[in-house]
Amino acid sequence: MKQIKKSLSIFMAAIFVMAGILGNVTANAAQAVTTKATQVLVPAINYVGVEHSPLIVGDTEKFTVTSSFSGKVQYRAFMFDGKTWAELTKGYGASVDAKTPYVLPETPAFKLGKAKVSVWVKRDGETGIQSNKNGNFDSYYVAELNCVAKNDASRVYANGKADYTVNGMKLTFNKIEGINGIPGPYKYAMHVMDPTTGVWTKRVTTYQESPSYTFTKPGTYMVVVHANTEKSTTWAKYLAQDKTDANQGSTYGTYEAWKTIMVTVKAEDTVKVFDTTVKAATFGAAVNVTMTTGGTKNFPTATKYQVIDGTSAISAIVNLGTVTTAMSIPAKVAGDKVNIKLLDANAKEVKVIEVALGQSGTITVAPVVPVDPTTSEIKATVKAGTFGALVTVTSTSKDAVKYQVFNGTSALSAIEVLGTATTVMSIPAKVAGDKVNVKLINAAGTVIATNEVALVAAK
């Protein structure tokens, strides 16, 4: 496969950094190409992220890519081991927004020496404007990698799992599991790229054992985590560097290893669960609690309530929407804080929510984190149906409970419970070997992953 390597500006200064592996790369804007007197705007790859560095003999890698383009794109990739090219993907992958990070399949284990990855991109559903014997594409990027031998005296190994937590808008990086090589203790510094703009913000943290960063807007971000130790010869260069957030200069030579992670942060949503009213009564106060649509959705079994002051019940248990007398001295008035205990039909506690009387009781809903398609196995079987085809989808995702089958962006089936067959309507009917997109849905009805899947004949 003869290809001409295109130049990109390299994040962290060079293609071969530290132990000699490609860094995270940022590149061109979408390209305007004239074909047969017609100008066509096509996507151009503007980011290739390497999962970890250094790349050691026996390691595997994952690449994350984005493109400059407004609209949906598809990716295809090939690997060169120094002797032959082999396809990393199985044809073009699922349709994704160009600015949404897309994780390519994990590579085979690397051998000592140089290797290459060629990433193709084209507009979704379109034939690429260029082609060779392997197929068509709109544009491509070739990245070079260098796999090196293990050397505990001069390297830090970062191929372990990244341990981090996301709480609302805050990211906390805990460690790289199994990190070793040059002795620790190990410290980490974070750098962030916003895929919607392609802009890097370097040094959002200094080196710390467990750095954290709070994003200013919701979204999906690429985060490169540098790892280092005071026992490294690079530590002195780090100490001499301007480490302020405002310094966006080169970080080359100030780290021993890195880990790339993709994180999605979302501001917590506030859901109104119930409304309260309070009026003066002959004795105590007359309180009423009525559920909202959001409350019914989040607590479908709640049918009763009770007013609690601290830990003491000050009312009887009554049905939601029914007035109850809250007994206290002095009597409760608007603005007084109480706890409302929601209960099911058997008077079993469902939820306790603090509220100021006369106002609404609310909860905050934790953000839904999309599933990394590469970590969730999805299988889809197919057999002939009376109309269309019967497809059954199963998944290893712990959060997914339902699924829906699509052709591109067009729904071919209803939403169905995982493991249950659904009728897929198409002309001609889908058969084994056909590719479809499967959306995984959690209990709240939110799509948490979309995967392209090849249908397998049902036994």
Is the pLDDT at 16 greater than 70? The verdict is no
Which sign, positive or negative, has the C-alpha torsion 445, 450, 451, 452? positive
Report which of residues 32 and 179 the model is more confident about: 179
Number of domains in the chain: 4
Does residue 260 belong to any structural domain of this protein?
yes
Domain span including residue 178: 156-240+252-265
> Quick one: pLDDT at residue 192?
94
Same domain, 76 and 114: yes
Domain check: are 115 and 196 in the same one? no
Query: Residue 401: how many CB atoms within 10 A of its CB?
Result: 17
Rounded CA-CA distance 459/456 in Å is: 9
Asked if 115 and 206 sit in the same domain, the reply is no
Q: Which residues of 333-358 are buried (b: 16+ CB within 10 A; e: fewer)?
A: eeebebbbbbbeeeeeebbebebebb
Average of per-residue pLDDT across 46-68? 94
Domain boundary (148, 182, 204) is at 148
Same domain, 192 and 221: yes
Residues 42 and 141 grouped into a single domain: yes
Mean pLDDT of the chain: 86
* Assigned domain for 286 exists: yes
Work out the average pLDDT over 154-165.
Answer: 93
pLDDT tens for residues 197-227?
Answer: 888 888 888 899 999 999 989 899 999 999 9
Of 247 and 397, the one with more pLDDT: 397
In a domain, 12, yes or no: no
Q: State whether 434 and 335 are in the same domain.
A: no
171 is a domain residue: yes
396 pLDDT band (50/70/90 cuts)? Answer: confident
Lowest mean pLDDT among 85-89, 181-185, 221-225, 376-380: 376-380
For residue 129, is it within any domain?
Answer: yes
Rounded Cα distance, 90 and 75, in Å: 10
Task: Kindly indicate the confidence band of residue 266, based on its pLDDT and cuts at 50, 70 and 90.
Answer: confident
Per-residue pLDDT, averaged over 274-285, amounts to: 96
pLDDT in tens, 282-324: 999 999 999 999 899 889 999 999 999 999 999 999 999 999 9
Assess whether 281 and 233 both reside in one domain.
no
pLDDT in tens, 324-348: 999 999 999 999 999 999 999 999 9
- Of the CA atoms within 13 Å of residue 70, those in its CB half-sphere come to 3
* pLDDT given for residue 19 in this prediction: 26
Please give the DSSP secondary-structure letter assigned to residue 267: P
CATH code at 78? 2.60.40.10
d(CA 434, CA 432): 6
Residues 134 and 73 in one domain: yes
User: What pLDDT score was predicted for residue 268?
Assistant: 72
Residues 127 and 235 reside in one and the same domain: no
Is residue 20's pLDDT more than 50? Answer: no
- Reported as a single tens digit per residue, the pLDDT across 101-138 is 999 999 999 999 999 999 999 999 999 999 999 999 99
Domain boundary at 123, 148, 173, which? 148
Q: Any idea what the CATH number is for the domain that residue 343 is in?
A: 2.60.40
Does the residue 348 lie in any domain?
Answer: yes
Distance in angstroms (rounded) separating the CA atoms of residues 353 and 338: 9
**For residue 9, is it within any domain?**
no
Question: Residue 22: what pLDDT?
Answer: 33
**Residues 260 and 329 placed together within one structural domain of the fold:** no
Report if residue 3 sits inside a domain. no
Is the pTM higher than 0.85?
Answer: no
Same domain, 84 and 32: yes
Domain boundary, last residue among 131, 148, 165: 148
pLDDT of residue 188: 96
Is the same domain home to 99 and 24? Answer: yes
